Amino acid sequence: MIQLDQVSKHYPPPKRGGPAVTALNEVSLTIGAGEIYGIIGRSGAGKSTLIRVINRLEAPTSGRVLVDGVEISALSGAALRRERRGIGMIFQHFNLLSSRSVFDNVALPLELAGLPKAAIKARVEPLLELVGLTDKRDRYPAELSGGQKQRVGIARALATEPKVLLCDEATSALDPETTRDVLRLIAEINRKLGLTVVLITHEMHVIKEICHKVAVLEAGRVIEQGSVFEVFTRPQHPTTRSFIGIVTGIDLPPSLANQLQAEAQPGGEAVLLIRFTGDSADQPILSRLARHHGIDANILSGRIDHIQGRPFGTLVVSLPNGETLGTALAFFQSHQLSVEVLGHVAPALLAAG
Ligand SMILES: Nc1ncnc2c1ncn2[C@@H]1O[C@H](COP(=O)(O)OP(=O)(O)OP(=O)(O)O)[C@@H](O)[C@H]1O
C-alpha cells in the first residue's frame, strides 16, 4: 500500500557553510493495506519528516515513495492534489478553523473539492455520527474538549474518503483517558473502513494500544521494525529496549535499581530481564535451569502483560556472575527466550533487598 524505497531527506544547513541536516537516511518501509503502522522515535529522529514525505508535503532528496502503486514523490500540480485527496491527516494541535462550526470544519475539504451542498451534507452527517459528534455539529472549536477537537479532525480527514490516514502525534496533547478513547476510535475506523493508518509517536504505549506493526526511527534511520508483538517481546536495539522498558514497567525494587552497576562486582550477582511469550510462558524454565545446570535463580520481580491480545511475561532474576552467568545466558537463548543483562550488584545488597 505504502512503500518507501531508500528515502533520504537532507535539509539545508542551519548555519551557512555548516553541514546539511539529514532527517531521513535511506529509509525503506513497506506498509500493508489495512494495517495500523506505528513509527516511534525520540525528538528529532525524523518522524514528522517521514510522515510528510508520504503525502509529499516534503519532497525526498533521494529515493521513492509509492502510495497505492503511484509514485507520489514524483508528482506535482493537479496530479499531486488528486492523489493527496486519498491521504487524510490529523495533527497534534488539531488545526481546526476557529471561525467555523464543527459541521463546517468537516465540510471544508469537500467545499474545496467543489462538491454541491447536498452532497456535502450527505457526506458530513454520517462522519459526525461515526466520530460521535452529531450533537455538537453547530458548536465552535473553542466550545469543545481536546478529545472532541481531535474527533472533528478525524472526521475532516475522512471527508474525502481517503485510503490512508496519517496521524502526526495525534494524541500527544490529550490526557491518558482521552488518548485511549481517540486511539480506540482510530482502531474502529481502521476496522470498519479498512483504512491504512500510519501513526507517529514518541510514546510506546500508543504503539502497544493499537498498532499492528512498528518501526523504530533513530537519527533518520530505521533501527528496528516488525510486528508489535515481535518487537515488544524480542527487542534487538537498546533504543527499542528503553522505549519498551517504559511501557512494560520493569518493577525493580528502587533499592536494587539504584545499586545496579554496569560492571560485574567481585563475588556479586548479575540481574537479568527475561521476556516470555505465549509459546514459552508455560515451560518451567527456571526449574529446568536448576535441574540441568545446578543454577538457582533468585526471582526479584515478575509481571504478565498483554500485547495485541497475546500474553507476554517479564521476569527479573539474579544469578551469580562468572561462568554461571555464561551458562545461564546460553541456556535461556537455547530456549528462544529474549534475555538482557540489566546490570550487576554486590551479593550483600540482594540479601538485604
Ligand atoms: N524544515 C526544516 N528545515 C531544516 N531542518 C529541519 C526541518 N524540518 C526538520 N528539520 C530537522 O530534521 C531533523 C528531523 O526532524 P523531524 O521534525 O522530522 O523529527 P521528529 O522525530 O518529528 O521530531 P519531533 O518529535 O521533535 O517533532 C531534526 O534535526 C530537525 O531539526
Residue 109 sits in a domain whose CATH number is 3.40.50.300
Nearest to 245 by CA among 179, 192, 181, 316: 316
Q: Which residue has the higher pLDDT, 78 or 266?
A: 78
User: What pLDDT does 178 receive?
Assistant: 94
Give yes or no: residues 189 and 227 share one domain. Answer: yes
Q: Is residue 288 in some structural domain?
A: yes
User: What pLDDT does 351 receive?
Assistant: 54
CB 138 within 8 A of CB 103: yes
Residue where one domain finishes, among candidates 247, 276, 308: 247
Q: Measure 49 CA to ligand 1 centroid, in angstroms.
A: 6
Res 161 pLDDT > 70 = yes
Residue where one domain finishes, among candidates 222, 247, 272: 247
CA–CA distance, 319 with 342 (Å, rounded to integer): 12
CB 353 within 8 A of CB 255: yes
Atom in ligand 1 nearest the alpha carbon of residue 41: 21
Kindly report the CATH number assigned to the domain that includes residue 282: 3.30.70.260
Give yes or no: residues 205 and 79 share one domain. Answer: yes
Give yes or no: residues 132 and 157 share one domain. Answer: yes
Q: Is residue 351 in some structural domain?
A: no
Atom in ligand 1 nearest the alpha carbon of residue 12: 4
With cut-offs at 50, 70 and 90, classify the pLDDT of residue 100.
very high
- 80-84, 262-266, 269-273: which range is least confident on average? 262-266
Q: Whose CA is nearest to atom 28 of ligand 1?
A: 44
Which residue out of 4, 8, 9, 11 has the highest number of ligand 1 atoms within 8 Å of its CB and is therefore the one to mutate?
11
User: What pLDDT does 301 receive?
Assistant: 83
Give yes or no: residues 227 and 267 share one domain. Answer: no
Give yes or no: residues 103 and 187 share one domain. Answer: yes
Q: Is residue 100 in some structural domain?
A: yes
Nearest to 72 by CA among 157, 3, 168: 3
Torsion sign (Cα): 233, 238, 243, 245: positive
Q: Is residue 140 in some structural domain?
A: yes
Instruction: Establish whether residue 141 lines the binding site of ligand 1, counting it when its CB lies within 6 angstroms of any ligand atom.
Output: no
Give yes or no: residues 193 and 263 share one domain. Answer: no
Give yes or no: residues 132 and 143 share one domain. Answer: yes
User: What pLDDT does 338 receive?
Assistant: 81
Residues in contact with 258: Cβ distance below 8 Å, sequence separation at least 6, in sequence order: none
Instruction: Establish whether residue 23 lines the binding site of ligand 1, counting it when its CB lies within 6 angstroms of any ligand atom.
Output: yes
Q: Return the SS3 of 157.
A: helix
Q: Which amino acid is at 272?
A: L
Q: Whose CA is nearest to atom 2 of ligand 1?
A: 11
Bridge partners of 222, per DSSP, are 217
- 21-25, 32-36, 212-216, 334-338: which range is least confident on average? 334-338
Q: Measure 11 CA to ligand 1 centroid, in angstroms.
A: 9
Residue where one domain finishes, among candidates 247, 268, 293: 247
Atom in ligand 1 nearest the alpha carbon of residue 50: 18
- State which residues form the domain around 284: 249-345
CB 198 within 8 A of CB 164: yes
Give yes or no: residues 228 and 279 share one domain. Answer: no
Q: Measure 43 CA to ligand 1 centroid, in angstroms.
A: 8
Res 182 pLDDT > 60 = yes
Q: Return the SS3 of 17.
A: coil
State the average pLDDT over residues 106-122: 95
The complex scores an ipTM of 0.96
Using one digit for the tens of pLDDT, what is the confidence trace for 291-316? 999 888 888 888 877 787 777 788 88
Q: Whose CA is nearest to atom 17 of ligand 1?
A: 48
pTM: 0.82
Q: Is residue 303 in some structural domain?
A: yes
User: What pLDDT does 198 receive?
Assistant: 97
Using one digit for the tens of pLDDT, what is the confidence trace for 33-78? 999 999 999 999 999 999 999 999 999 999 999 999 999 988 888 8
Q: Whose CA is nearest to atom 24 of ligand 1?
A: 43
User: What pLDDT does 248 receive?
Assistant: 58
Q: Is residue 353 in some structural domain?
A: no
Three cell numbers at 323?
Answer: 561462568
User: What pLDDT does 230 receive?
Assistant: 86
Residues in contact with 339: Cβ distance below 8 Å, sequence separation at least 6, in sequence order: 272, 273, 274, 275, 329, 332, 333
With cut-offs at 50, 70 and 90, classify the pLDDT of residue 281.
low
Res 106 pLDDT > 70 = yes
Res 107 pLDDT > 90 = yes
Give yes or no: residues 150 and 288 share one domain. Answer: no
Q: Is residue 296 in some structural domain?
A: yes
CA–CA distance, 107 with 164 (Å, rounded to integer): 19
User: What pLDDT does 129 receive?
Assistant: 96
Residues in contact with 343: Cβ distance below 8 Å, sequence separation at least 6, in sequence order: 260, 261, 262, 270, 271
Instruction: Establish whether residue 41 lines the binding site of ligand 1, counting it when its CB lies within 6 angstroms of any ligand atom.
Output: yes
Q: Is residue 194 in some structural domain?
A: yes
User: What pLDDT does 278 receive?
Assistant: 66
Using one digit for the tens of pLDDT, what is the confidence trace for 117-135? 999 999 999 999 999 999 9
Q: Which residue has the higher pLDDT, 170 or 323?
A: 170
Three cell numbers at 195?
Answer: 483504512
CA–CA distance, 207 with 201 (Å, rounded to integer): 8
Q: Which amino acid is at 95?
A: N
Q: Measure 341 CA to ligand 1 centroid, in angstroms.
A: 34
State the average pLDDT over residues 274-278: 78
Number of domains observed in the structure of the chain? 2
Give yes or no: residues 269 and 236 share one domain. Answer: no
Q: Measure 28 CA to ligand 1 centroid, in angstroms.
A: 19
Provide the mean pLDDT of the chain: 89
Res 224 pLDDT > 70 = yes
- 208-212, 228-232, 275-279, 343-347: which range is least confident on average? 275-279
Res 345 pLDDT > 90 = no
Give yes or no: residues 33 and 71 share one domain. Answer: yes
Maximum CA pair distance of the chain?
A: 80
Give yes or no: residues 54 and 199 share one domain. Answer: yes
User: What pLDDT does 279 receive?
Assistant: 66
